[in-house]
Structure 1
Amino acid sequence: MARVLVAEDDPLTLAGIEVLLANSNFQVVVTASTGVEAMDKLAAARPDLLVLDVEMPERSGLDVLRTLRSRGDQRPVVLLTGSIKDARVQEAMQLGVNGLVIKANAPRDLLLCLEAVAQGRRWFDQETLQRAMELVQSPTAAKRDPLQGLSDRERAIAALVQRGLRNKEVAAELGLTEGTVKVHLHKIFDKVNVRSRTELILLAKDQGD
């Protein structure tokens, strides 16, 4: 039986997921209501896979995914969302997300997604996947994502800087030294053609608009 961590800030949605998985091959071993709580509980819970709400307080599901991948943690991650911008779907796919389920369709799709992911396959809501693929294939796709050339770790650092964290805090979050963060940050500046943290934050915010 696969051990599952579920991070969802809406109590009714969380209860619904627990009921849905109650008689399945998936055991909910721990729940969280924020991204920070999910990260805090990860080591002790030792889940085989994670189901993360995209929009959560403190840290989003995408933030958690980004941090996991930057640390080399390749455990399967399924994102659960009411709606998601196409550019964010593209980023999630670049980070190696294993599945994406729309909340309105979760009673029908979540188990299908988890079963596919547990077998080593990827599963995405078809309409959302189609829009994301169209974005990837668009001639202007690179212009829409100014952070496209960054590595997983660099994306994680850029995301934390966008949230207002200082180098020391970024280092603690990602398990790096402060000096390493500074080196990565200068590489990020060069790659995205900015000169300061402020310009990087504005660039990242423009990407999310």
Structure 2
Amino acid sequence: MARTGGRWRDLGTFRARGVPGWEALAEGIDRMVTGIESPVGSERGLAARLRYLTASDAGYEAMDRAGVHVRPRTLIAWLAEEQTPSKANLARLDAAYWDLRRRNVAADLKRRLDNRGRGTRIEIDPVDQTAVERRHQRDLETRNINVRGVVWDRVVDAWIAHDTQGLEAIWDDIIQSSLGTDWDAYTHVSSIGWAA
């Protein structure tokens, strides 16, 4: 595996497959956020999203962040099911809904992941090397580590802000402090799993 400066320079040089560890971490948190299952394009899905978004000032702020800029009478017509939003506004409403859901569950996620100071054990699956010639393979194994403390607060805050640089720095801190000299082999992973 070609590396430079302790990092994987080009993950696919020898056909290894994986994603940056910080990205797998963010995707894992995404999977913890539940919400309306009906698609935004369905009558039920749209109505539920609109009710959720218009129930608080935070919902209106989420719509503004997502680019939903319509007149009050248009929003009222959507709520009354007299008018259907354009495809672009449906996508924006869906984005606003999930943004608000993420923000509303952030405190709960922090508590769950911190687990009263005990932290959360995560399993890190290394990059998939099945397509890599044997002579270029590295001896990597699945690693289990327990992440504790304010790290989870930082992870969730960076996740909400879509701060990829922050998430990458936090991931590097996690693996450097937990995996010793082998940490750089886990900057990219196949997946991360946990029971939180």
TM score, norm. by length of structure 2: 0.29
Report which structure shows greater RCO (CA 8 Å, sep ≥6).
Answer: 2
Which of the two has higher C-alpha Rg? 2
TM score, norm. by length of structure 1: 0.28
